[in-house]
A and B are shown apart, each in its own frame.
Chain A
Amino acid sequence: TQLLEQSPQFLSIQEGENLTVYCNSSSVFSSLQWYRQEPGEGPVLLVTVVTGGEVKKLKRLTFQFGDARKDSSLHITAAQPGDTGLYLCAGAELTGGGNKLTFGTGTQLKVEL
């Protein structure tokens, strides 16, 4: 089983600050996805990155896929309380005609006023 380590595990910041979450593995993935999960809900997909070196922006969120397709980062600019939640990366491994998703260890983000 491929392992995905996220750091930091916990992050508590003030509104307006910037932050970066990292997702690292020793394995290569066909694509990497980021999800956000709120209490009592299932994770919700934020973005998929496919090409090594790819950068995607979603409003104040910037996602990057490492050149070797083993790691990724999520950067949030000017964090807001609504960004609070559990952030999960997931690596996709081509198998059986589809994509097996392995999830990272998670980063719990709390943004305070």
Chain B
Amino acid sequence: GAGVSQSPSNKVTEKGKDVELRCDPISGHTALYWYRQSLGQGLEFLIYFQGNSAPDKSGLPSDRFSAERTGGSVSTLTIQRTQQEDSAVYLCASSLGGAGGAFFGQGTRLTVV
């Protein structure tokens, strides 16, 4: 596709269940970012992949959160044993890795009930 694609667009899960969020970046983009956003707030950095370098995981809030990027393309963010405070919009973005901007997907709205 022409843009960053995220799936699912909405996810409702029960507390304690695991969830997987998927991101398909723009083809050729070497950088991939995951952020979390609460309603009307700024973006909280989670993790950053750049080419073949080790990912920057410094923003992951706990060891329940993990992310992979396979083959330098698709990325999956996994949240284990979800808690109500995990409810938010999870945004993925990709970029060419230079000074240019990042292109965002529409996000996955996660609701933990």
Contact = CB atoms under 8 A, between A and B. Distances in A.
A95 B101 contact: no
B62 interface: no
A30 B56 CA distance: 18
A100 B101 contact: no
Interface in A47-98: 48, 50, 86, 88, 90, 92, 95-98
A105 B42 contact: yes
Interface string B75-113: 000000000000000010101011111111111000000
B54 A96 contact: yes
Contacts of A99: 31, 95, 97-99
Interface in B25-62: 30-31, 33, 35, 40-45, 48, 50-51, 53-54, 56, 58-59
B19 interface: no
Contacts of B107: 42
Nearest to B39: A39
Given A6-B42, A97-B53, A103 B35 contact: yes
A1 B33 CA distance: 15
Contacts of B74: none
B22 to A, nearest CB: 15
Contacts of B103: 45
Given A97-B51, A108-B40, A92 B104 contact: no
A27 B101 CA distance: 19
7 contacts: A30-B99, A90-B43, A95-B48, A96-B56, A98-B30, A98-B97, A104-B42
